[in-house]
Structure 1
Amino acid sequence: MKHPMKFSAAALACALAVGSPFVAEPAQAQTRATATSTLRVTGFDVEQVDRVEPGAELNFTLWGTPGAAVVLQIDGGRRTVRLDETTAGRYQGSYVVSRGDRIVPESRVHANLRRDNRVATATLGEALQSGWPSPVAASSGIPEIQSVKVTREAGRPRVDALRYTVYGTPGGQASVRLQGSQPRNIVLDEVRPGEYQGTYVLPQGAWVDTNQPLVAQLRLGNRTASNTVADAYAGLRLMARADRDSCRDCATVQAVNEVVVDGDGRVLGTVAGGVLGAVVGSQFGKGDGRTAAGVAGAVGGALLGREIQKRHNQRTQYEVVVRMDDGTQRTVVYAEPPNLRVGDPVRLSGETLERR
């Protein structure tokens, strides 16, 4: 808790400029109040909390003219706060944040010190939550971007997951502009005061134009700061457009099908599709015994024996359908179940597929 401080009207204006723990209202309004009386506020303080959330207790102290009534209004709060005069010229009171409140760490707090028909006003010059800057300083200054950083997110070796970080003025809205096959704005979250982060996972086949500068923006109120970083991707091993264009053998697994083929290698159907019935139906009409016997009499025993032999030699194989990076589709056949799944990035090497 801070001790009482006594300032003249000129000193109060100077305190606002240097970031005092309390801020008086504009000089014109203050002049009107002091012209008719000695009513004034000399100090305004809050016990900052670790986190502004339901149940948090905000304790306020105001110093000023004795014998007055003091009422506070918190932006986002549903109730006013009345401060009691505990000693001459010292007023204290508390506000417990409820679930219905919309109070945030940088919410402004306004105080009215009233006696008779005269009022002196002041605005709290510090945030309600520790670690946050003064709400007055944040709202009155121009937003500033101090630095921009891009890193690859760990734990995702098979995809390009980019984490963007912007450091600058707290309490704003930050974003970065991604250039490449899919240009877009990526909005960042303020994870700590003045630190904004966001992660973007590039879709399969997408690329980032690392030759283009990265543009970051930070908006605060109706003002926007912009920062262009020419070498933001320096040191990152990303697959640029030229690399993807040169990777003619790169592909993505679209499907893995288990099929049955006959002795000549012709596909008879899928394993679960009633393969034998399909074979009989396609080779011998409707597949009933009388039709098969009639055909057998017409084509002779040699043909029937050959068809029976083909069915006897039927086997299961695995077809992996891939889409090449140039948009074409290929199918690779395996005799044994391949260790591949839909969505896997692969490279075509001869008649087999290799993981990338």
Structure 2
Amino acid sequence: MKAHLRKNAAAAMLLLAPLGAALVAQPAAAQYAPQYRVAQVAPGHVTNVAVPAVESFVADLDRGRLEPGRVLHFRLLGTPRSNVVVNIQNIVSDLPLAETQPGVYVGSYTIRRSDDVKMLDRAVAVLRTGGKHAVARVNMGWREQQASAQHGRDTTPPRILDMTPHNGERVSDRGRNTRLSARLSDDGSGVDPASVRLRINGRDVSRDVRVRDDEVHYREDLPRGRHTVELAVRDRAGNATRTTWTFNVV
């Protein structure tokens, strides 16, 4: 009986030997077929995450000198669909800038009596996208323009800002007139309101434009389609500037 059992056990071992050899010959990881795969990313590389960037960050004083009651207008160009805030040491924390068009962020701050105006030059913007951020210090280029004007050397043309509708915007008139507007800024001799020229699709509509407090306003019942706007202006020293943008009425 014992001899018979020994024979059967030996036969079973011989049958199992090839399977055991096959298991030993393969690496442990190969013995178990995975039910899913995990994506492999090389160290130091991130996929599908935008790298935040700031192209420019400037501050524009509405007019006059840095003093209580004046308004600083911030404008940042950077990565679209981001969160942007401005920090000024001992003055303001996390002042939000709104994205008025893709990659264009604007906001303003009214100077208070308690503010140390020297700190305004140190304003810093933080742009956050996808868990990463970019930092930029403000460019106060208007200081140079102001200094030139004070010495009678106004050679800087005015600026055209905050145009609406925005460049590339799709506007629904909903049966009402389309409204166009823009803000003019000049820290030297000042904007010459009589110099404002507005063209829509090459047609001069300047006589119907309203200019008040350095703001340009115009309205017209425009047909559906793409429209091109050209706005030109000079300051009182004769420096000229112009800008062109397009929008669509749908």
Q: So what's the TM-score if we normalise by structure 1?
A: 0.25
Higher RCO (C-alpha under 8 Å, 6+ residues apart): 2
Which entry has the higher C-alpha Rg, 1 or 2?
Answer: 1
Q: So what's the TM-score if we normalise by structure 2?
A: 0.35
